[in-house]
Each structure stands twice: as C-alpha cells, then as structure tokens.
A and B are shown apart, each in its own frame.
Chain A
Amino acid sequence: MTEIKLTVNGVARSDEVEPRLLLIHYLRESLGLRAANVGCDTTSCGACTVLLDGESVKSCTVLAVQANGRSVTTAEGLVAEDGTMSAVQQAFRENHGLQCGFCTPGMVMASTSLLAENPHPTEQEVREGLEGNFCRCTGYHNIVRAVLAAAGKLSGDSATAGTEVTA
C-alpha cells in the first residue's frame, strides 16, 4: 500500500491505496463521488474525465498514486455550497446539452478545462476540444451550443450566448 495525500473538490484527503488503484475507482469507490462514470475503460470515451490540477484527464488511465500531492475536481466539485451550478453546468441544462446523461459529467469537465485554456472558442474549436468525449444521444449539437453559451456567460458577452450552431 502507498500513502497518498491530495485535494479532492477542495477537501484534503489522505489514504492508503494499492498502487494499481485507478483514479476513477478511488473517486467512485473510496470517496463515493459517482459523477465521473466508467464508460469504455480504454481512454477513448471521456465519461471518466475529471480535472487534475485544473486540466482534463481520463481518470480510467491515471493511477490514484499519480494524483498524490495534486488537486482533483469532479463534477460534484463544480457546484457551489448553496447548490448553484457552475456556468458550464447551467449552460448544459439550459441548452438541453444532454439526453441520457451518462457522458454529461465528463462532457462538463472537458468543457470546463477547454474554456479555462481557451475562453473564447469558435464552434470548430469546441468540437475539436471535445473530441475526447463521446455522446451517443445528442448528436453533439446542443452540447456545442451549451459550451458556446457558457463561454459567452463567463466572458460577460451576452451576444455570444445562444449563438446559432450549424446543424
């Protein structure tokens, strides 16, 4: 067993883990944070996406020990204490950026990372920025709308919000 100390959604954690424990299983099974899903389990679908020091990663392909000393954020951690959702989460809701919801936590985390790196993405940049996340329901259009709307809200530019997306 190996000792890890990390911050998860702002809370300091200390645990003894097997080196082979995957970050996704640490989050879901050890901490009970069930937002991130196991989808393909092969670094393809993005359902397990979380933020590691603010950057999107696929937690099915990260060992919990690799997160030692670092900060992990899941979709639960985007919600304020009073229950207010983040701008990205709110935009997914308002733009119907989900149907079954399985990919949604990963989509939200990938989008959050994308907007941190590129606050004013074009539609094409959003599509390319989400190429690591699969959605089998929506056809992606409303997801792209949601991310562009969130970008507009975050930059205080109401003109960008509700941008027409080519279908």
Chain B
Amino acid sequence: MIPASFDYEVADSAADALALLAEHGEDAKLLAGGHSLLPMMKVRLAQPALLIDIARVPELSGIAIDGDEVVIGATTRHADLAASDLLKAEVPILAYAAAQVGDPQIRHRGTIGGSLAHADPSADLPVTLLALGGSVEITGLSGVRVVGADDFFVGPFESVLSPDELLSAVRVPRGGSVPWGYQKFVRRANDWAIVGVAAYDGRVALASMGGTPLRASATEEALKSGASIEEAAGLAAEGTSPGYDFHADVDYRQHLARVLTRRALQGKAG
C-alpha cells in the first residue's frame, strides 16, 4: 500500500515547524516516528498535502527533571522511555507502559508525542498519562499552553490540539515510590489493549472503555472513602459505554475493567 503523494519538509526547529504549519494549515501534518500517521496514510485515511518532519529537531527530544516533574520531549521514542534509568527511578509506570507499546521495532520508531496526539483510546501512553495526572505542553505561534491529561483527550483519535499547534513536551509527576499498577489484556502479542488499566496513587484510568481514555471515577471515590481494593475495583466499569468487536462485547469489557482494576490496584504489572 502506497500513500497518496505529498510534499516533504524537514523542520530545523520547533519555530520552523510552526511557521510551516501556519503557512499550510490543515493540509499539513507533523511527522516524527510516523507509526500512527503512516499506517493511516497507507490506507488513505489521511492524505496530507505536506509532511513536516520534526524528528530531527534536537530541542523536541529528551528526558529531564524539572522541579517536581519529569519533562519529556515530544519526539522521545518509546524505546528511549523504556530504557531510561531516570524514568525508571522517577516515573516507573511510564517506563513500564512504554515497554508495552507494540513491539521492539515499533518502539524504535514511535514517539510519546505522536502517541498522545494520535489520541487512540486503546493505546498505552494516553491511559498512562491520564492515570499519572500529567500534562502536555502545546506550542503555537502565540506561545506555550499547558493542558492537563483530563482535558486533553476529547474523543476517539481527537484531542484539543489545533492544526497549527505542536505538542512539544509531556510533563509527569516525579514519584519513584508511589504505588502503581498496569494491566493490559490482549489475545495476541503486539495488539492494542482489549481493556487496559493504569493505576497511580489512587488515580485509575481505563483504556478501550470508551471514546477516550477514562478515569474510573467511582473506583477512585470509593478508595478515598476507605473502601477495600476489591470493593473499589467492583465499581470500575460504572458509567462506561465501551464499544464491542470480535474480541469482546460490552459485558465482557466491563468485566475485564473490574478484574484488571483490582490487579492494577494490587500493584501488579502485566
């Protein structure tokens, strides 16, 4: 399968990328690893007239501590997150989740910014950012705005990013000793989660349980009022309307959400 024709520009800096976006508007798409965008272009779900390659912009990559947070450049690859000693020490759930994305080849190309901007409700990093209560830095011509994970995802494959903006960095709280758990249920290696659960410090987020990654609010409230893990996990599917496919129907997804939430709250990773 071959994508439709497009023009190709390499951005030297974030400012350069923003100028190109401003010039070409919705006809342009940013390209980093391309592991969400190129598959969509190959089946012609996306037909941008221009790709702006930001993978070679040094300022958009890297992992660093900034006060109480770890700041991750948007083009930092999943493989780099998974291998980062800093991240394993400060935000272990994110290093773990990054190692669950796809397979080694995909992790050598795919980036955290690309995964979040793609806003797939079944993907590993969006649900993890939501559980962490992290945020994204969005850079536009008029400056930088910071959007919390709770407000960033607005629908399936849709975020608050405007066509002329660049997701430039990701901010997550430092918490090397904070209890966390991560559960991803798949039938086949390197699949997306049929249901996924990320739990961090009493926050619980669900993947594949709706159009966006979702907070399991009833579970979180129950935990706050002193319920046991078993009782709280039993409420994980409250208010969810998951889709159905050949892997799982609605009832089964809701069952999985409860079971996986219990395991995640018990601190299990799998």
Asked if A132 and B102 sit within 8 Å, CB to CB, the answer is yes
Q: Give the distance in Å from the alpha carbon of A25 to the alpha carbon of B1 in the complex.
A: 10
Asked if B5 and A132 sit within 8 Å, CB to CB, the answer is no
Q: Give the distance in Å from the alpha carbon of A134 to the alpha carbon of B25 in the complex.
A: 40
Asked if B51 and A19 sit within 8 Å, CB to CB, the answer is yes
With A20-B6, A131-B189 already in contact, the answer to whether A65 and B53 are too (CB < 8 A) is yes
Q: Which of B1-37 contact A (CB under 8 A)?
A: 1-8, 31, 34-35
Q: Give the distance in Å from the alpha carbon of A52 to the alpha carbon of B42 in the complex.
A: 21
Q: B45 CB to closest chain A CB, in angstroms?
A: 12
A/B pair count, beta carbons within 8 Å = 77
Asked if B5 and A18 sit within 8 Å, CB to CB, the answer is yes
Any A CB within 8 A of the CB of B38: yes
Q: Give the distance in Å from the alpha carbon of A20 to the alpha carbon of B49 in the complex.
A: 11
Asked if A55 and B108 sit within 8 Å, CB to CB, the answer is yes
Chain A residues whose C-beta falls within 8 Å of the C-beta of B106 in the assembled complex: 43, 58, 132
Any B CB within 8 A of the CB of A74: no
Chain A residues whose C-beta falls within 8 Å of the C-beta of B102 in the assembled complex: 43, 132
Q: Give the distance in Å from the alpha carbon of A19 to the alpha carbon of B52 in the complex.
A: 11
Any A CB within 8 A of the CB of B149: no
Any B CB within 8 A of the CB of A129: yes
Any A CB within 8 A of the CB of B105: yes
Interface CB pairs A-B, < 8 A, 7 = A20-B3, A43-B106, A49-B105, A56-B105, A62-B34, A63-B8, A132-B190
15 extra A-B contacts, CB within 8 A, seeds A42-B39, A58-B106, A132-B103: A19-B6, A19-B8, A20-B2, A20-B3, A22-B2, A41-B1, A43-B39, A43-B106, A46-B105, A57-B105, A58-B105, A61-B109, A110-B104, A131-B190, A132-B102
